[in-house]
Amino acid sequence: MTTSLLNQLSQIVGQAFSNIGIESSFGKASPSQRRELGQFQCNGALAAAKQVGRNPREIAQEVVTELEKTGLFMELTLAGPGFINMRLNDDFLLGHISEMAEDTYFGCRGEHDSQKVILDYGGPNVAKAMHVGHLRATIIGESLRRLREFLGDDVISDVHFGDWGLPMGLLITEIEREQSDLPYFDANFTGPYPETSPVTVEQLQELYPAASARSKEDPAFLKSARIATFDLQKGREGYLALWKHMRDISIAETRTDFDLLGAQFTEWNGEADTNDHIPEMMARLKQEGYAQISEGAVVIDVAEADDKKKMPPLILEKSDGAVMYGTTDLATIEMRREQHDPDAILYVVDARQSLHFEQVFRAARKCRSIKAECHLEHIGFGTVNGKDGKPLKTRDGGVVRLRSLIEDAIEEARETVTESGMSERFDVTELDDIATKVGIAAIKYADLSNQRMSNYVFDLERFTKFEGRTGPYQMYAAVRIKSMLRKAKEQGLSEGRLQATHDTERNLILALAALPEAVQGAAEKNAPNILCDHVYSLSQEFNAFYHECQVLGETDAAIRASRLRLCAITLRQMEQVLYILGIDVPERM
């Protein structure tokens, strides 16, 4: 499978242009805006006319005459000043879709050069429960991972844990304040340190805000926390042992969230993993003159001559000697180069961190921390808002935990599912599974179907509906096809050669054939919303077909077999796209 239907068509029309002595690039075809006029259109005659100084309608007429000779079209018409409307003949359409269905990747891999890509997403922090911001990072990141993998890229996914820096010093100091007799704080203790953590993850999640608040009121506390941070980074044993406990229990906690969301990481690295690399990096940056001292801090100047806004320098080391978020990110880039030599590193992180990434990328390029061809990109996203239009908060103004969002979604889904009568048909275990899948599908589709950079309002009631542009609706469309195919199997009916007997079948085939463009566009723009639109158009066209055409009830055996095949192809593609969006389809609903 080499090329999409649209590409093939553009080539055919391009050939017609070239046959009449005009550049073939004018033959670019596009799906018709108005289906009643044709399946595809080409407006190239207008631009061609300008270039060669001829009448556009005449050119279009000559192109149509050329196209007629190919025998590939059911209908060709001219409209307006020189638009060409086209309807492909059934053999061409059916041949294409059969071939596409044979291919594991639906012909989407054709022109894609495989790359080694590192995706950095998720980004939870030690001692802080994952919150609503991490929801988007996880959902978008995972769908881009699946998309890249589908395209044949070699994808490395790194959760990049926030486990270094001042928050760690604050926690150590806070725990010492409460439990100063623990061996971790005794500089003369020679070990071994206890095997289990002195605090639970729930306690940690309370300790952090307490410590952070205290540091703002109490300068002495802040000073101790800074010293603790520095000592930890320089490898003080007791602090490292305590830090490791905090890190381990925090990671274990986030795994539950990631499992629920189906996120798969190949690497569980964090900021702290750069600690051994930082001294050599700093030495090089100083030696080669990239790093400078400014107000007691070590910085890299990343401003460029044509900057419109002021670009602050990237701070590598504060005057107290501790390293920063930018330092660990720069060091991570160098380590990724050494370990993987990637073609691209993509960061799926809240858009509000765009300045940080701009500074880091500039520093990486300036200091040659990565090869020049490596593509570095911050894939930002907007905020999740409450119904008041402001970033989502709990009733008392706190951060909304990711876990509680997921639980609410599943609860809401359980209600919808129960209302729709499913509780009578399924036992508790299956109902649970369905509610979980519906709840997760609801939040994922709602998140991914928006333009990545825009904010959206979190409205579970709307997200869990079984109609419209929702995850549950797409899922239900797939489940219905599954049930039908199961029935067909029970009745001993089999699939057969495709034929087209109704326009709704042709429209469904056209929707299926548009996958390569959707996948291409989604990958180029890092825009899963394009795939959401695609799967929505699939379910719309499928429903229209199903409304007009009998499948199991069709009495002509050949037509029935063809329709069963069309249903099977649709299901396979729907499930594939839903998989990329992170949506699991239950066996029945």
The footprint of ligand ARG (CB under 6 A) covers 120, 123, 125, 160, 162, 329, 347, 349
- The SS3 assignment for 389 reads coil
Which residue is listed with tokens 């017609």?
Answer: 16
Q: Count CA within 13 A, CB hemisphere, residue 240.
A: 12
Does an H or E element contain 508, and which?
helix 503-513
Residue 105, burial from CB neighbour count under 10 angstroms (0-12, 13-18, 19+)? middle
Shortest approach of ligand ARG to residue 206 CB, angstroms? 19
Shortest approach of ligand ARG to residue 162 CB, angstroms? 3
**What is the rounded distance in angstroms from the CA atom of residue 39 to the CA atom of residue 533?**
19
Structure tokens at 174: 């806070």
Shortest approach of ligand ARG to residue 258 CB, angstroms? 14
Shortest approach of ligand ARG to residue 360 CB, angstroms? 8
Chain-centre distance for alpha carbon 540? 23
Shortest approach of ligand ARG to residue 345 CB, angstroms? 9
- Amino acid letter for position 217: E
- Amino acid letter for position 567: C
**What is the rounded distance in angstroms from the CA atom of residue 439 to the CA atom of residue 461?**
11
- The SS3 assignment for 91 reads helix
**What is the rounded distance in angstroms from the CA atom of residue 509 to the CA atom of residue 518?**
15
**Closer residue to ligand ARG (CB): 93 or 207:** 207
Pairing verdict, β 30-31 and 375-379:
unpaired
Shortest approach of ligand ARG to residue 375 CB, angstroms? 16
**Closer residue to ligand ARG (CB): 272 or 513:** 272
**Closer residue to ligand ARG (CB): 120 or 273:** 120
Q: Where are the beta strands (DSSP E) in 375-471?
A: 375-379, 384-385, 456-457
Eight-state DSSP code of residue 274: G
**Closer residue to ligand ARG (CB): 162 or 586:** 162
Do residues 14 and 27 touch, judged by C-beta distance below 8 A?
yes
Shortest approach of ligand ARG to residue 349 CB, angstroms? 4
| End-to-end Cα separation, the chain, in angstroms | 35
**Closer residue to ligand ARG (CB): 160 or 534:** 160
Among 447, 549, 460, smallest CA distance to 499 is for 549
Q: Where are the beta strands (DSSP E) in 164-206?
A: none
Shortest approach of ligand ARG to residue 380 CB, angstroms? 11
Which residue is listed with tokens 């299956």?
Answer: 430
Do residues 124 and 250 touch, judged by C-beta distance below 8 A?
yes
**Closer residue to ligand ARG (CB): 165 or 472:** 165
- Amino acid letter for position 347: Y
**Closer residue to ligand ARG (CB): 197 or 327:** 327
Give the residue at shortest CB distance from ligand ARG: 123
Do residues 510 and 41 touch, judged by C-beta distance below 8 A?
no
Among 70, 87, 67, smallest CA distance to 16 is for 67
**Closer residue to ligand ARG (CB): 107 or 162:** 162
**Closer residue to ligand ARG (CB): 28 or 378:** 378
Shortest approach of ligand ARG to residue 138 CB, angstroms? 11
**Closer residue to ligand ARG (CB): 346 or 508:** 346
Shortest approach of ligand ARG to residue 131 CB, angstroms? 8
**What is the rounded distance in angstroms from the CA atom of residue 95 to the CA atom of residue 99?**
6
**Closer residue to ligand ARG (CB): 148 or 560:** 148
Shortest approach of ligand ARG to residue 1 CB, angstroms? 37
Which residue is listed with tokens 């899963």?
Answer: 528
